[in-house]
Amino acid sequence: MLDLAIIGGGPAGLTAGLYATRGGLKNVVMYEMGLPGGQITQSSEIENYPGFEKVLTGMELMEPWPKQCMRFGLKHELAEVKNVSKMDENFQVTLANGDKVLAKNIIVCTGSTPKRAGIKGEDEFYGKGVSNCATCDGFFYKDKEVSVLGGGDTALEEALYLANICKKVYLIHRRDSFRASPHTVKRVMENDKIELVLNSTVKEIYGDESGVNGSIVVDKDGNERDIKAPGFFIFVGMNVNNGVLKQEDGSFLCKVNEWGEVIVDLKMRTDVEGLFAAGDIRIEAPKQVVCAAGDGAVAALSVIERENH
């Protein structure tokens, strides 16, 4: 029987493990099927994490976290969790290999994954010119032209990253203004290698066996523009990874909102006693590393409070 099972090894899960073990919980396991670090490891630059004056990549920021967070006894189980269900007063964690583990408390920190844009050709060319990760795939387009779709912080930050590698970056957005921070917008506007394609949507991504050759952009007046670029990067938001909470009858173990985000209170408690959620999976998550880490700490402290009562 585990005192606490943490599902997910991003900033929220790692911090939850650190606070839970340092706070006295003895049998704590963090389930993460890959290397700990989470979605942020794919980010090209982090300049707003407190305590770091130098701009870091997501990988650089997260690299020391696992060692610190496991110093007090947190165990990392390299396994995929398929489902979490209630078993009397405790919870049952079902792993992909069929193993079942009982736990007194659960903190779900499964985060989110990039949304698909639903453009014709997107699925066909995914991994062959279409990408959601500039850090992973930007190098393949060194001194070439690429397109970026999106208008938030991630889209603009990745456009700036690509501008350091690529010959030119077309930044395509359906509106005439951005949702990103003013500082990031200013940097984009001042970058000569970034061309803004505003009030525009992408009708199709096309190519051949070698990959993407270009995209047909439709502006607000219906005029088509064919952008010839071998790389197409999509940053149009995130979907929460709530699959582990789905039950056999299709319902969720706890209450979620219309977007599938887990409803929690200020202590990261769900409506199910002993079940907590932290990070991007929860309602109104700011989707920032520092906030996810804070959520993880709060959730762990709430578990300790529950165990001490």
Q: Is 109 a catalytic residue?
A: no
Q: How far apart are CA 143 and CA 290, in angstroms?
A: 34
Total residues found in the chain within this entry: 309
Q: How far apart are CA 15 and CA 289, in angstroms?
A: 11
Burial 141-159 (b: 16+ CB within 10 A, else e): beeebbbbbbbbbbbbbbb
Q: How far apart are CA 185 and CA 178, in angstroms?
A: 7
| From 123, 136, 265, 271, the catalytic residue | 136
Beta bridge partners of 83: 94
| From 137, 153, 280, 295, the catalytic residue | 137
Q: Is 265 a catalytic residue?
A: no
Which two tokens mark 155? Answer: 């889209």
Q: How far apart are CA 154 and CA 161, in angstroms?
A: 10
Q: Is 69 a catalytic residue?
A: no
The packing angle between helices 289-307 and 11-22, to 10°, is 30
| Catalytic positions, written as ranges | 133, 136-137
